[in-house]
């Protein structure tokens, strides 16, 4: 499936058919280039000539039936907030945008289960859930733009994975249109169901290669009655690891996030986003801890005890507790804008790995040494200006940023496949939460066995024998 797919040009007759379904059609080159043919970082550019905007599952079914018969390839797109090129039509495929499928179909306030269409923006969905006393268990920096269908299709992790887990655990059911147009109705809302294969799991993280997710049933979490943050300044990565152990022991069930970033990340947010640093002094490392519970007094006592433990072991040099709602939002915004600040500072080669905690800082040292040895980093004017890490402690997810003068070129040649080999040899995964997209499938072999890769390919072949769904991406590149 590595072979490129040659798409027949979309004809006027095709556009007429789509329009006849009542589907909005965009085939203006300027509109497509500005909104649909470029990814969030400006790294991946597409060549789609047509974008379709269905408003119902039946319309999606009719579109895929027609495209499958005609051999027209399709790329599904939601908020287009991804950074791996997975939602970009690189080969002139038709873009199927789900932005107009944005209704909440049902909300059970007793069981806490919400059924929503895939085009619902994550932040809007969470605002809706909070009015009912619940919260959506996934939260991302791109919450204002990303959509729940894309969150499912990339198996998004996010800021509170430590507390709420993955989409594989939160999603109870899916409605999916298969490549041949058949509607797979597994939109169950039951929390326990042992009747046969759990087919929905195939589509979580499939990135639109097996079908189009049109609706999601998701188990919500109770809206917390009490929240607070603690920002810590530390001088050594090993102290972050010890602090995390103590957080699990002392904060227990109320800890919902444990984020870290290094000094240079902090400086970039201050410089390019014009935000105040969350701490008064400069530190080699920063940690952001969030607790969510039902009794503020109880949670305050636990956090105070935890901070005393940190001070007792001389792990932290500075700390700040944030309990005001507005200040908490500002503090989270500082963390959420970290990737955006990096992208403003240059061309950001972003790597999203799962890696055992004991190797995370080692990765940063190894990458800097590798690029210095290649003559690309370490002195003013060299192709690489910055190499940084930040991530989600507790779920092994680390983000590595290499800021260069351009995308691709000598920097990418030096980094790839070297960095993927390094991560695989240290027990890591080449993709933690951003997905494989159009680029990383070729590196899957460094963290997955040949039998596992062949099994994934066989599933793709079974469900999409004509290879019309997001061709040339994901496992197809392996």
Residues 321-336 have a mean pLDDT of 96
Which residues belong to CATH 3.30.465.10 in the chain? Answer: 104-222
d(CA 461, CA 71): 15
Is the model more confident about 434 or about 359?
Answer: 359
> Is 118 within 8 Å of 177 (Cβ atoms)?
no
Which residues belong to CATH 3.30.70.2740 in the chain? Answer: 346-447
> Is 103 within 8 Å of 214 (Cβ atoms)?
no
d(CA 124, CA 141): 14
Q: What is the CATH number of domain 346-447?
A: 3.30.70.2740
At residue 2 the predicted structure's pLDDT band, cuts being 50, 70 and 90, is very low
How much of the chain, in percent, has pLDDT values that exceed 70? Answer: 99
- What are the tens digits of pLDDT across the range 106-141? 999 999 999 999 999 999 999 999 999 999 999 988
Which residues belong to CATH 3.30.43.10 in the chain? Answer: 12-100+461-477
Q: What is the CATH number of domain 226-338?
A: 3.30.70.2190
> Is 170 within 8 Å of 184 (Cβ atoms)?
no
3-state SS track over 384-407: EEEEEEEEECCCCEEEEEEEECCC
CATH fold group of domain 104-222: 3.30.465
pLDDT reading at 213 higher than 60: yes
CATH fold group of domain 12-100+461-477: 3.30.43
């Amino acid at each position: 499936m590595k072979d490129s797919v040659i798409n027949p040009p979309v004809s006027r007759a095709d556009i007429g058919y789509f329009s006849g379904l009542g589907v909005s059609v965009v085939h203006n080159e300027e509109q497509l280039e500005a909104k649909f043919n470029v990814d969030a970082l400006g790294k991946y550019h597409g060549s789609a000539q047509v974008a379709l905007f269905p408003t119902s599952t039946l319309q999606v079914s009719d579109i895929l039936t027609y495209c499958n018969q005609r051999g027209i390839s399709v790329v599904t797109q939601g908020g287009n907030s991804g950074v791996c090129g997975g939602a970009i039509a690189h080969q002139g495929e038709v873009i199927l945008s789900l932005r107009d499928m944005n209704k909440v179909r049902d909300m059970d306030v007793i069981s806490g289960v919400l059924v929503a269409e895939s085009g619902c923006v994550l932040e809007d969905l969470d605002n809706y859930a909070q009015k009912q006393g619940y919260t959506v268990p996934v939260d991302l920096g791109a919450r204002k733009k990303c959509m729940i269908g894309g969150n499912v299709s990339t198996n998004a992790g996010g800021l509170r994975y430590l507390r709420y887990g993955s989409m594989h655990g939160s999603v109870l059911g899916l409605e999916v249109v298969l490549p041949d147009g058949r509607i797979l109705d597994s939109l169950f809302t039951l929390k326990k169901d042992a009747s046969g294969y759990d087919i929905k799991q195939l589509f979580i993280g499939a990135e639109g290669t097996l079908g189009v997710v049109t609706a999601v049933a998701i188990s919500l979490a109770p809206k917390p009655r009490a929240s607070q943050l603690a920002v810590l300044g530390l001088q050594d990565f090993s102290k972050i690891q010890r602090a995390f152990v103590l957080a699990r022991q002392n904060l227990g069930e109320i800890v919902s996030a444990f984020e870290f970033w290094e000094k240079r990340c902090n400086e970039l947010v201050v410089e390019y986003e014009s935000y105040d640093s969350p701490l008064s002094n400069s530190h080699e490392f920063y940690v952001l801890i969030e607790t969510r519970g039902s009794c503020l007094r109880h949670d305050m006592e636990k956090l105070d005890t935890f901070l005393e433990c940190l001070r007792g072991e001389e792990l932290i040099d500075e700390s700040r507790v944030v309990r005001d709602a507005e200040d908490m939002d500002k503090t989270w915004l500082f963390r959420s804008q970290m990737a955006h600040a990096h992208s403003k500072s240059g061309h950001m080669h972003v790597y999203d790995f799962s890696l055992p905690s004991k190797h995370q800082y080692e990765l940063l040292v190894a990458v800097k040494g590798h690029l210095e040895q290649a003559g690309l980093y370490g002195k003013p004017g060299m192709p690489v200006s910055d190499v940084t890490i930040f991530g989600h402690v507790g779920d092994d997810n680390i983000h590595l940023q290499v800021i260069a003068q351009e995308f691709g070129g000598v920097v990418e040649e030096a980094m790839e496949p070297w960095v993927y080999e390094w991560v695989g040899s240290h027990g890591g995964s080449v993709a933690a939460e951003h997905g494989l997209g159009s680029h990383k499938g070729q590196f899957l072999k460094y963290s997955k066995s040949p039998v596992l890769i062949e099994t994934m390919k066989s599933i793709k072949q079974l469900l999409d024998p004509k290879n019309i769904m997001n061709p040339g991406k994901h496992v197809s590149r392996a």
